[in-house]
Amino acid sequence: MSIRYTSDLIDSCSGRPPQGCRLCDRGAKMVLYITGVCMEDCFYCPLSEEKKGNDVTFANERRVDGDDWLDMVVLEARRMKALGTGITGGDPMAVVDRTVQAISRLRSEFGPRHHMHLYTTGSFDKEALGRVKKAGLDEIRFHPPVWMWGGFRFLGRDHEQGNPAEARQVHELIHEARRSKLSTGLEVPALVDPRGSSGIYSRGLYHLLEYAAREGIDFVNVNELEASHTNMGVFKRLGYDLVGDSMAVKGSYELAFRTIEKVRDIDHQRRTVFHICTSVYKDSIQLRNRLIRTAKNTARPFEIVTEDGTFLRGIIETDDPSNIYGHLSRVYDVPPELMVIENGKVLIAPWVLEELGPEIEGTSYISEVYPTCDALEVERTPIEMKAPTRRFNK
């Protein structure tokens, strides 16, 4: 049976999307945030205070550390039945030993079909590139910092002029990655020019994408610029506005589209695939599909999976959860698979709790949570008291 991808992915690509994007579209990629350490300090970085600049590791939303951190990474991949892993940061190549360990372990656990891609600024040498390739990396996405973009203007031409050494280093790494048969691309944001800047960022984006098209690089992902609570102050000072109620920066999508249209046909023989990844797509498609996949694979009999990939579960808060649990079992014949005691609370099937609410001591409510290790609560709804109408024999 052929695999269907969302129209959001297909319609925003100039050709066949890279494998990393195809698996993200299905929600089938675990996100391995390997470190917050990075050699750059990009003003548009959206990372939280907990992550940015800190040497911490997360598998999806689960923080992993200690001697068994790799076991925890594998556990998280199994929870969602991941078909691949996206390794990000910070810059994973800033902690290349750890990154190699993770790639090697995932490859040994899940075999050659587990697709792994990695994001990096390109601040490393060819020896490090060879190590991640040998460990089992499939795809690499270079994110050169914005100050470097203009330096790609003449790279690869017969008469190069004044290219900075840093841009040339990334250029050489790109060629080495392609030579070693890694799927190789660029992934950068469409940076809107600050007010009064005379097009400094848009020109740099053009030079970078024009370089990719000339070189026939496999793919370029241009991300719609997004605001976060950590970069919002800088964005306001630059005069950026947001699109409606979203976190997308106004004008970023249009800039990405215009720039791609200018460069996409530069080389008709070596077609680079260009893709615009919008803010809405990341949240409503990629993240949502990953949550749905995780929820369906981890839901217990007393949890309902919603269309958004969250769980609905009944909660009873009481001073004596064991007594309440026993009462529900003895008096109402609630089967053990429909309730459990966790963290001093009784978790119970919401349809059962809705029926038995008036008979239960304590505070009762329906809780909607993410299917993550911390079960972050989205919303809670108190139970409307009414008399029970039946018992639960299953």
User: Residues near 191 by Cβ (< 8 Å), separated by ≥ 6?
Assistant: 44, 146, 201, 202, 204, 205, 225, 252, 255
Q: How far is CA 21 from CA 143, 225, 275, in A?
A: 16, 18, 10
Structural tokens at position 269: 């023989």
In this structure, are residues 46 and 283 in contact, taking their beta carbons and an 8 Å threshold? no
Please spell the DSSP secondary structure of 2-48, one letter per residue: PPP--HHHHHTBSSSPPHHHHHHHTT-EEEEEEES--S---TT----
Domain 299-382: give its CATH code: 3.30.70
For the chain, domain boundaries: 7-294, 299-382
Please state the pTM of the whole predicted model: 0.90
DSSP-derived letter for residue 308 is: T
H helices of the chain, in order, are: 7-11, 19-25, 69-79, 96-110, 126-135, 165-179, 200-215, 232-238, 252-263, 279-281, 288-298, 321-332, 350-356
**Whole-number Å distance between alpha carbons of 76 and 294:** 9
Q: Do the domains 299-382 and 7-294 match in fold?
A: no
Q: How far is the C-alpha of 212 from the C-alpha of 171, rounded, in Å?
A: 10
- Are β-strands 219-224 and 273-277 bridged in parallel, bridged antiparallel, or unpaired? parallel
Task: Output the tens digit of pLDDT for each of the chain's 394 residues.
Answer: 456 788 889 888 988 999 999 999 999 999 999 999 999 999 999 999 999 999 999 999 999 999 999 999 999 999 999 999 999 999 999 999 999 999 999 999 999 999 999 999 999 999 999 999 999 999 999 999 999 999 998 887 655 555 678 899 999 999 999 999 999 999 999 999 998 788 999 999 999 999 999 999 999 999 999 999 999 999 999 999 999 999 999 999 999 999 999 998 887 677 899 999 999 999 889 999 999 999 999 999 999 999 999 999 999 999 999 999 999 999 999 999 999 999 999 999 999 999 887 678 788 999 999 999 889 999 999 986 554 444 444 4
Architecture of the CATH domain 7-294: Alpha-Beta Barrel (3.20)
Beta bridge mates, 305:
311
